[in-house]
């Protein structure tokens, strides 16, 4: 007796077989529904956005805002604090940089990217000097985890910003004040010199108009006679400006050094880790100065990287693997370029790389040799699965 013959003897078999026939007869036409799930996801997470520069305005001497509109007319929603990764092609090299959206999600007509010129910045120079109103750029959809959550962040927020780290926080400040949300924000904005502060006038006006927003500018290299708050954002300064820290959630965004300085200061004051949010660390400006860097490998050492299908490219020790791949014209999906989002993950078949301690690599990736190519620096010749 075959299995199907045997199964026909099961109590209820005939009834269910009939039910199935009816379900098929009056069944779902999946063909007519094709694509609907992908389209639903695209509304939130488009693979690419096409953006047109609609305005370009200076914020201060070395900072400019690019106002971007969507060429399709649709922008996915974003959470104040998120960034997009902007793709550019410069001198034949396709690369990208993540920039926080500084405009408020209260409107979705445009995304503002506020970009500060980085000394010798390959991409920031290009965006500030070459890109004109009307130009079209591509980007990822909004990404990142540096945003406010009503679930566990409470209503008492303290923002610690350093330099251009104000941009994601600016989006949050604009959202809270524009929408009159019931959240209190106290911003301490650290800069070396007062003229470096971005959005200074607007912040003053918003603080004046909204009782739930307080703005303090802290200047670390003041001119003689400067009357405002001076010094680094340390425990003393925070205590003086904020008072009691209990029940408050801190959002910290700034250069890499700021996290290693400010976060221990907060911990010293007894702020629990769950109340400290930080943006991604970014990658080290000079990776060879990292404490764990193997001294025998010089910054300008060159190695070869062999790809799965035989192609061989060159890679410098002091540049992330991702950059070497981009220089060779090889496209690897990427987003945060800080070692945290994992989109640029590749499998190492042989060889060694240096990964800064801030790279957020999973245990299983460490065990099976996956690295985040944006935060992996070649220390030997490599073979990668790509």
List interacting residues with other proteins (CB under 8 A). Answer: 1, 3, 6-7, 9-13, 16-17, 19-20, 23-24, 27-31, 33-38, 40-41, 43-45, 76-77, 79, 108, 145, 149-152, 272-274, 332-333, 340, 342-347, 360-365, 367-368, 370, 385-386
Query: What does DSSP say about strands 156-162 and 184-191: parallel, antiparallel, or unpaired?
Result: parallel
Tokens 């591509």 identify what position? 138
CB of 146 to other proteins, least distance (A): 11
CB of 62 to other proteins, least distance (A): 33
Looking at the Cβ atoms of 42 and 62, the one nearer to other proteins is: 42
Cβ–Cβ under 8 Å, residues 142 and 75? no
Cβ–Cβ under 8 Å, residues 267 and 259? no
Query: What does DSSP say about strands 229-230 and 213-219: parallel, antiparallel, or unpaired?
Result: parallel
Looking at the Cβ atoms of 39 and 120, the one nearer to other proteins is: 39
CB of 60 to other proteins, least distance (A): 31
Looking at the Cβ atoms of 11 and 211, the one nearer to other proteins is: 11
CB of 219 to other proteins, least distance (A): 31
Q: How far is CA 60 from CA 67, 114, 115, 187, in A?
A: 16, 11, 10, 20
Count of alpha carbons within 13 Å of 38, Cβ hemisphere only?
4
Looking at the Cβ atoms of 38 and 211, the one nearer to other proteins is: 38
Tokens 């820290």 identify what position? 245
Looking at the Cβ atoms of 267 and 302, the one nearer to other proteins is: 267
Distance CA 244, CA 120 (A): 42
Looking at the Cβ atoms of 30 and 91, the one nearer to other proteins is: 30
The residues, ordered by sequence, that sit 6+ positions from 19 with a Cβ below 8 Å of its Cβ are none
């Amino acid at each position: 007796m075959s299995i199907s013959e045997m199964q026909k003897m099961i109590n209820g078999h005939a009834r269910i077989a009939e039910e199935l026939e009816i379900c098929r007869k009056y069944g779902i036409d999946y063909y007519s529904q094709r694509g609907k799930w992908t389209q639903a996801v695209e509304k939130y997470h488009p693979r690419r956005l096409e953006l047109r520069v609609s305005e370009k305005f200076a914020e201060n001497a070395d900072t400019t805002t690019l106002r971007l509109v969507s060429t399709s007319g649709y922008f996915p929603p974003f959470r104040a604090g998120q960034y997009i990764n902007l793709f550019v092609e410069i001198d034949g090299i396709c690369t990208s940089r993540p920039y926080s959206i500084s405009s408020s999600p209260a409107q979705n007509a445009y995304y503002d990217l506020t970009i500060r010129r980085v000394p010798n910045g390959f991409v920031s120079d290009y965006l500030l000097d070459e890109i004109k109103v009307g130009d079209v750029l591509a980007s990822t959809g909004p990404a990142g985890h540096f945003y406010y959550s009503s679930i566990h962040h409470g209503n008492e927020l303290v923002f610690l910003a350093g330099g251009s780290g104000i941009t994601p926080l600016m989006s949050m400040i604009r959202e809270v004040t524009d929408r009159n949300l019931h959240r209190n924000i106290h911003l301490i904005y650290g800069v070396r010199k007062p003229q470096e502060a971005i959005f200074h006038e607007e912040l003053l006006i918003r603080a004046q108009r909204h009782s739930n927003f307080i703005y303090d500018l802290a200047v670390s290299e003041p001119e003689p006679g400067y009357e405002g708050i001076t010094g680094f954002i340390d425990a003393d300064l925070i205590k003086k400006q904020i008072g009691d820290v209990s029940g408050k959630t801190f959002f910290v965004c700034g250069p890499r050094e700021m996290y290693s300085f400010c976060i221990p200061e907060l911990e010293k004051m007894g702020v629990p880790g769950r109340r400290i949010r930080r943006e991604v660390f970014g990658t080290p400006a000079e990776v060879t100065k990292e404490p764990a860097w193997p001294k025998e490998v010089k910054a300008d050492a060159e190695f070869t990287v062999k790809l799965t299908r035989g192609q061989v490219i060159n890679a410098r020790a002091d540049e992330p693997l991702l950059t070497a791949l981009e220089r060779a014209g090889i496209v690897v999906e990427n987003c945060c370029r800080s070692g945290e989002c994992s989109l640029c993950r590749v499998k190492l078949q042989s060889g060694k790389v240096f990964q800064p301690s801030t790279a957020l690599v999973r245990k299983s990736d460490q065990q099976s040799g996956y690295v985040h190519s944006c935060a992996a620096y070649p220390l030997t010749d490599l073979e990668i699965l790509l």
